Amino acid sequence: MAIPIRVKVNGQVEALEVAPDESLLSMLRERLDLTGAKEGCNEGECGACVVLLDGKAVNACLVLAAEADGHEVTTIEGLGRPGALHPLQKAFLAHQAVQCGFCTPGMIMTALSLLLENPAPTEEEVRTAISGNLCRCTGYRQILDAVQAAAQEMRAGAQGRRP
């Protein structure tokens, strides 16, 4: 039994027929070829699959594709592209917050969700926000630095002045 859904993904409306047990992650990766969100565990424990659902970070592996009907999804691909990166992506690049990079898209989307809600988080708040995103390569410090740098840049951008 296929369920027809309409979902806005990175600004584009997609009309799809999804299976009742299909996850949002699987829909993005297998149907839409958006492989930026990663499959690290498929059970909500690693954060590699985090995307924004109506601006809030969710583990896409725990959300059913059908639940996204009528909603808006943003993935890492919708954030920026090489040459036109989002401040968070730039900061991850500049602060060497990327090693194998498998955790990176989920990390960035989680951080984005935090910064949308709280543009000036404390170090502790960033730590807590990304505590559901596992990284096995870094010691997280470079990631925390990157998020703070991006927050600053985004605040400056919001106030219309260059940092």
- Interface residue list for ligand FES (CB under 6 A): 39-42, 44-49, 59, 61, 98-103, 135-138
Pick between residue 126 and residue 149 the one whose CB is nearest to other proteins.
126
Residues 56-85 interacting with other proteins (rule: CB under 8 A) = 75-77, 79-82, 85
- Edge-to-edge strands, sheet with 12-18: 12-18, 3-9, 72-74, 50-53, 56-59
Non-local (6+) Cβ contacts of 102 within 8 A are: 38, 40, 48
Q: Is 23 exposed, middle or buried (0-12, 13-18, 19+ CB in 10 A)?
A: buried
From 14, 94, 125, 155, residue interacting with other proteins (rule: CB under 8 A): 94
Q: Find the shortest distance in angstroms from Cβ 144 to ligand FES.
A: 13
- Compare residues 11 and 160 and give the one whose CB is closer to other proteins: 11
As measured in angstroms, the least distance from the Cβ of 152 to other proteins is 17
**Least separation, in Å, of the C-beta of 102 and ligand FES?**
5
**Which residues ranging from 96 to 155 are in contact with other proteins (CB under 8 A)?**
96, 98-105, 108, 123, 126-128, 130-144
CA distance linking residue 112 with residue 114, whole number of Å:
5
Count CA within 13 A, CB hemisphere, residue 67: 14
Check residue 41 for interaction with other proteins (CB under 8 A). yes
HSE toward the beta carbon, residue 90, CA cutoff 13 A: 12
Q: What are phi and psi of 148, to 5 degrees?
A: -65, -40
Other Cβ atoms within 10 Å of 27 Cβ, number: 25
List contacts with other proteins (CB under 8 A): 29-30, 34-43, 45-46, 48, 75-77, 79-82, 85, 89-90, 92-94, 96, 98-105, 108, 123, 126-128, 130-144
